[in-house]
């Protein structure tokens, strides 16, 4: 048993999709979340900048007595293997859990991946999918406008600008007849209703954040590192910019009945 917290970070509010699933799957675990809202999005930054930001995020969480760190950011997850981080704390990204779920779900061996520009350019999802099944065709599409839409609350399926942008992005997925679509950025599940409506009922959407939370459950259970308390003691949420705006997103994505401590913190901005 291990009562230390689970650490989670993302470039903004997207990682709250992972937190929401953690709350459901691991109700006794304390959680510390960092959303680097002052520097969102990461997906349009250089590889070197992304790595620099990621190291700062990881060091911040290590100061909060965490037993594992979940990188709920597709962009950072795409560069994580190259970072060669020496740590006695487990650090896991979204790619592997999402890929395994997608490979299990596809029936026609055609998987789509939507993510930030940096993630798509890295090709990491395609490599991971083909390592499991080389016969699967992978269709990737960068969707850079999805992050600002989510960060600013434009997520409703009837939102005109969101629908217009989503239809343009997803056209290639429909043309290529993918039956499984990985939402490779944890912001994107906030657009699930809209994406699902455009893609149709026959397409399975894989939330990278939710799959990472399932991975955490399995990992902690296997190593017997789950918390022994009867209920969660704390949910600490940190942002690097406006607490007011961040709090609005927390309420929208986690619900107003969530008892959380929300604070602003400083990284090397």
Binding residues for substrate: 10-11, 42-43, 186-187
Q: What Å distances lie between residue 172 and 13, 81, 161, CA to CA?
A: 27, 29, 19
- How far apart CA 23 and CA 56 sit, in angstroms, is 25
* Tokens matching residue 195: 């994406």
Q: Is 185 a catalytic residue?
A: yes
Annotated binding site: 10-11, 42-43, 186-187
Can you spell out the DSSP letters for 127-182?
Answer: HHHHHH-TT-EEEEEE-TTHHHHHHTT---TT-HHHHHHHHHHHHHHHHTT-SEEE
Block residue for tokens 């896991």: 92
Catalytic residue of the set 73, 103, 143, 239: 73
Q: What Å distances lie between residue 115 and 61, 105, 123, 167, 248, CA to CA?
A: 25, 19, 11, 15, 24
Q: Is 73 a catalytic residue?
A: yes
Catalytic residue of the set 18, 143, 185, 239: 185
Catalytic residues: 73, 185
């Amino acid at each position: 048993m291990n009562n230390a917290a689970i650490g989670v970070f993302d470039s903004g509010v997207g990682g709250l999709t992972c937190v929401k699933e953690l709350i459901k799957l691991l109700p006794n675990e304390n959680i510390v979340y960092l959303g680097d809202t002052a520097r969102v999005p990461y997906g349009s930054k250089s590889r070197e900048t992304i790595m620099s930001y990621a190291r700062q995020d990881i060091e911040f969480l290590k100061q909060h007595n965490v037993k594992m760190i979940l990188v709920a950011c597709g962009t950072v997850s795409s560069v994580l293997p190259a970072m060669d981080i020496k740590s006695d704390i487990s650090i896991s990204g979204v790619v592997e859990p999402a890929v395994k779920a997608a490979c299990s779900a596809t029936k026609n061996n055609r998987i789509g991946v939507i993510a930030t520009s940096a993630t798509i350019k890295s090709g990491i999802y395609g490599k991971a999918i083909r390592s499991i099944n080389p016969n699967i065709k992978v269709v990737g599409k960068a969707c850079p406008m999805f992050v600002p839409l989510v960060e600013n609350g434009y997520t409703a399926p009837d939102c005109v600008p969101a629908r217009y942008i989503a239809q343009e992005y997803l056209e290639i997925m429909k043309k290529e007849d993918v039956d499984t679509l990985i939402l490779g950025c944890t912001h994107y599940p906030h657009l699930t209703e809209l994406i699902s409506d455009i893609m149709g009922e026959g397409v399975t959407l894989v939330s990278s954040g939710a799959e990472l939370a399932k991975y955490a459950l399995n990992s902690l259970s296997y190593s017997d590192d789950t918390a022994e308390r009867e209920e969660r003691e704390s949910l600490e949420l940190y942002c690097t910019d406006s607490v007011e705006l961040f709090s609005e997103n927390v309420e929208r994505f986690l619900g107003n009945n969530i008892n959380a401590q929300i604070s602003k913190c400083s990284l090397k901005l």
